[in-house]
Amino acid sequence: MIGEILMTQDIGVDEFLPLFVASTLVLVFGGFYVGIYTAVKVKLLKHWAMPFSYLFWILTAYCLYLMGSYMHVNDFTAKALVVAALGILILPHAVYYMQDRVHEENEH
C-alpha cells in the first residue's frame, strides 16, 4: 500500500545506477551552488562568478527531475521535488539576507 502512494511502479534494475548517480549529483551540484553563492557574497570570488552558481542550481533541479523520473513518483511527490528545488534556490538568499540584517543592526 505504501509503495502505491509514493511510487507508481517499481524501480527497474537498469534504472538503479542512473538513479544513484542523479541523486549523488543533486548533492554535488547543490553544494557547488551554495558554495559559489556564499563565496561571492562574502567576496571570496568576484561578482562575475555568480552565474555559475545559478548554473549549478539548474543542474541540481534537473537531477531532481531525473530522480523523480527514475523513481516513477506520483503527482504529489513530483510537486514535493519541485518545492525542494525551489527551497534549494531560496535558502542561501534567505540565510545571507538574515546574516546581512544582523550585521547591520549590530554594527559598532
**59-102 tens-digit pLDDT:** 999 999 999 998 888 889 899 999 999 999 999 999 999 988 88
Domain span holding position 66 = 12-98
Report the domain count for the chain. Answer: 1
* pLDDT bracket for residue 49 (50, 70, 90): very high
| Predicted structure pTM score | 0.82
State the Cα–Cα distance between residues 16 and 72, nearest whole angstrom: 12
CB 66 within 8 A of CB 23: no
pLDDT of residue 12: 77
27 belongs to a structural domain: yes
3 belongs to a structural domain: no
pLDDT in tens, 7-42: 557 777 888 899 999 999 999 999 999 999 999 999
